[in-house]
């Protein structure tokens, strides 16, 4: 990576971030804009089209036209794959620009944007462009001279609604399989992080995607463009990643027109370390699992449970490592933790830190780092002594604040892991393979890591149980969601 620079001079030139409808960048119908703010400086860096229901109408109509009349829905997998993999190629060509945009919008360290989010975004297109051609249709032979085949067809217009923590990464995780199955898209990015979706639109056009197949409408969620998308009669499915409470609102709104829904929601991952674990791996991974992306990851190991025999040792080592985390300018390659996404979100995290101080013992961090300027910088915090029923352990904080609790038995570890409304992910650290099987059977979570964290194979199902979601993404699970099954039964003359 060559050096990445923020705009020079004192005056920041505001980037115009319009909507993208029917192959063209367009202002909002109202001509209104809102500012998008750099979380590391507190300064506006962009003016975003304030799309509302009327803009969603235009985008949904364009998407529907493209679906009904355009070639995209009728192309072969190979023909679609040429465009979809080209989008992946162009993301790599534009990697620096996209990484800089993502860091400016989210406050995450530039290394994480460049080596994590943007690479994975390209991979999402490359992976699905290949994988979709392996998606098998079914055929059954029943009675004599009778055959039943189940084919997969596009759903039509799909609404994609995405969060701010991994903006391009999670949007492309939906866009790539959705395109491969021949659908048209209306994307509503999170209001705090619209920048990379805007740049992606240019890439998609350059890759040769027909006009109207991919549309982006910026704006707000409840009462705004997001909600209008979930109610729109031309939109046949909603794929949503975000908070559990938003998922519930979307489910209610989408029920009016009976849309298909797929929800990837909140998490409160249990990270369980047994005394027989390899601590040289478990402790640094626990650090990453809790604090990567400023702790703003649905899959974070945000509750650390440690077997009592090694509890004091783990707390001491981990606190030592947390104190060394370099918090600062997200554009510096040395920075390990950047700024939280917004002042509003930082206040929410600070309110949980107050709960932690009142109910437990704070070992380090938990302070607003004002010396770093007007950005949303917090020092990473570690707490012990909190009760399992505390809001600190039950609710999703989505920030750099980790509680550690001891346990005395396997049964207690399972009970603590399951003592949560969420069921997205968990990690188990042990060298006992029998224990691995016992725990992974009993822990209620969609994904379980053993002696690792965040490992992914894009073919496997990704998603949560309980309040963490409905449905699964990844591999054939994404392709199934973004397609309709149709059974054709026929008799032939023998």
From 220-228, 272-280, 322-330, 360-368, span contacting ligand NAP (CB under 6 A)? 220-228
Q: How far apart are CA 99 and CA 427, in angstroms?
A: 29
Q: Closer to ligand NAP by CB, 288 or 357: give it.
A: 288
Residue 157 gets which letter from DSSP? E
Q: Is 264 in the site for ligand NAP (CB under 6 A)?
A: yes
Is 219 within 8 Å of 226 (Cβ atoms)? yes
Residue nearest to ligand NAP (CB): 221
Query: Would you count residue 94 as binding ligand NAP (CB under 6 A)?
Result: no
DSSP character string of 367-431:
-B-GGG-SS--B--EEEES--TTSHHHHS---SSEEEEEEESSHHHHHHHHHSSSEESEEEEE-S
* Residue among 406 and 474 whose Cβ is closer to ligand NAP: 474
Residues 346-405 that bind ligand NAP (CB under 6 A): 396, 398
- Residue closer to ligand NAP by CB (options 310, 479) is 479
Of 89-97, 147-155, 184-192, 272-280, which segment contacts ligand NAP by CB under 6 A? 184-192
Q: Does 239 bind ligand NAP (CB under 6 A)?
A: no
3-state secondary structure of 15: strand
Order of strands, sheet of 146-154, starting from the edge strand that comes earlier in the sequence = 138-141, 146-154, 483-491
Q: What is the largest CA-CA distance in the chain?
A: 83
Cβ burial, residue 455 (10 Å; 0-12/13-18/19+): exposed
Active site residue 484: no
Q: Burial of 89 by CB count in 10 Å (0-12 exposed, 13-18 middle, 19+ buried)?
A: middle
149 counts as binding ligand NAP under rule CB under 6 A:
no
Q: Nearest Cα to 296, choosing from 378, 408, 233, 417?
A: 378
- List the catalytic residue out of 264, 307, 396, 473: 264
Among 249, 279, 325, 343, binds ligand NAP (CB under 6 A): 249
Phi-psi region of 89 (alpha: psi -120 to 50; beta: other; left: phi over 0): alpha
Contacts of 120 (CB under 8 A, 6+ apart): 169, 172
Q: Please provide residue 26's backbone torsions phi and psi, each rounded to the nearest 5 degrees.
A: -140, 145
Which one, 151 or 252, has the nearer CB to ligand NAP?
252
Distances (CA, A) of 196 to 84, 192, 490: 17, 11, 48
Q: What are phi and psi of 437, to 5 degrees?
A: -65, -40
Q: What is the DSSP letter of 108?
A: -
Distance of alpha carbon 308 from alpha carbon 444, whole angstroms: 23
Choices 259-267, 328-336, 410-418, 474-482 (CB under 6 A): range interacting with ligand NAP: 259-267
Catalytic member of 158, 178, 191, 298? 298
Q: Does residue 241 interact with ligand NAP by CB under 6 A?
A: yes
Could you tell me the two tokens for 262? 């797929």
Site string (282-321) toward ligand NAP, x via CB under 6 A = ----------------x-----------------------
# residues contacting ligand NAP (CB under 6 A):
32
Q: What whole-number distance in Å separates Cα of residue 188 and Cα of residue 408?
A: 46
Find the part of the chain contacting ligand NAP (CB under 6 A) among 61-69, 149-157, 240-248, 453-461. Answer: 240-248
Decide whether 159 or 406 has the Cβ nearer to ligand NAP: 159
Of the residues 14, 210, 220, 419, which one makes contact with ligand NAP according to CB under 6 A? 220
Among the residue ranges 11-19, 106-114, 187-195, 254-262, the one whose residues contact ligand NAP (CB under 6 A): 187-195
CB closer to ligand NAP out of 65 and 444: 444
Smallest gap from residue 38 Cβ to ligand NAP (A): 17
Catalytic site includes residue 264: yes
Collapse the DSSP code of 204 into the 3-class scheme (helix H, G, I; strand E, B; otherwise coil) and give the result: helix
Query: Which of 297, 310 has the CB closer to ligand NAP?
Result: 297
Of the candidate residues 102, 105, 227, 307, the single one contacting ligand NAP (CB under 6 A):
227
Among 469, 471, 474, 475, binds ligand NAP (CB under 6 A): 469
Indicate which single residue of 107, 167, 267, 366 sits in contact with ligand NAP (rule: CB under 6 A): 267
Contact set with ligand NAP (CB under 6 A): 161-166, 170, 188, 190-191, 220-222, 226-227, 230, 241-243, 246, 249-250, 264-267, 298, 396, 398, 424, 464, 469
- Residues labelled catalytic: 264, 298
């Amino acid at each position: 990576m060559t050096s990445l620079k923020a705009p020079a001079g004192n005056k920041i030139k505001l980037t115009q971030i319009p909507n993208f409808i029917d192959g063209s960048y367009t202002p909002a119908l109202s001509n209104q804009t809102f500012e998008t703010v750099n979380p590391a400086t507190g300064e506006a860096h962009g003016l975003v089209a304030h799309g509302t229901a009327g803009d969603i109408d235009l985008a949904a109509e364009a998407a529907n036209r493209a679906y009904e009349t355009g070639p995209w829905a009728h192309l072969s997998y190979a023909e679609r794959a040429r465009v979809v993999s080209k989008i992946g190629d162009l993301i790599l060509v534009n990697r620096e620009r996209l990484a800089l945009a993502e860091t400016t919008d989210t406050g995450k360290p530039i290394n994480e944007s460049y080596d994590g989010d943007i690479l994975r975004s390209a991979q999402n297109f490359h992976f699905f462009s290949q994988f979709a051609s392996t998606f098998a249709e079914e055929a059954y032979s029943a009675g004599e001279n009778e055959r039943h085949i189940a084919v997969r067809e596009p759903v039509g217009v799909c609404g994609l609604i995405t969060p701010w923590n991994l903006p391009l990464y999670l949007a492309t995780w939906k866009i790539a399989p959705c395109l491969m199955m021949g659908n048209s898209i209306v994307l509503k990015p999170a209001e705090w992080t619209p920048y990379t979706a805007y740049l992606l639109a240019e890439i998609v056009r350059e890759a040769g995607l027909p006009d109207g197949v991919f549309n982006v409408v910026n704006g707000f969620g409840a009462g705004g463009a997001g909600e209008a998308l979930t109610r729109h009669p031309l939109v046949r499915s909603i794929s949503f990643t975000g908070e559990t409470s938003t998922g519930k609102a979307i489910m209610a709104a989408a029920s009016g027109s009976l849309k298909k829904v797929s929800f990837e929601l909140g998490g409160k991952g249990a990270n369980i370390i047994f005394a027989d674990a390899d601590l040289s791996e478990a402790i640094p991974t626990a650090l990453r699992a809790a604090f990567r992306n400023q702790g703003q990851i649905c899959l974070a190991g945000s509750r650390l449970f440690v077997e009592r025999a090694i509890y004091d040792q783990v707390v001491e080592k981990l606190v030592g490592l947390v104190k060394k985390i370099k918090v600062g300018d997200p554009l510096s390659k040395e920075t390990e933790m950047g700024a939280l996404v917004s002042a509003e979100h930082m206040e929410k995290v600070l309110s949980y830190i107050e709960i932690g101080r009142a109910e437990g013992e704070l070992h380090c961090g938990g302070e607003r780092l004002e010396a770093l300027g007007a950005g949303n910088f917090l020092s990473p915090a570690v707490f012990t002594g909190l009760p399992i029923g505390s809001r600190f352990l039950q609710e999703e904080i989505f920030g750099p604040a980790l509680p550690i609790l001891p346990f005395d038995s396997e049964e207690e570890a399972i009970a603590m892991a399951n003592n949560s409304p969420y069921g997205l992910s968990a990690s188990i650290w042990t060298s006992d393979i029998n224990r691995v099987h016992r725990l992974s059977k009993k822990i209620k979570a969609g994904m379980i890591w053993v002696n690792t964290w965040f490992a992914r194979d894009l073919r496997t199902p990704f998603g949560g149980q309980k309040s963490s979601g409905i449905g699964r993404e990844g591999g054939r699970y994404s392709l199934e969601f973004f397609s309709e099954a149709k059974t054709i039964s026929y008799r032939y003359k023998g």
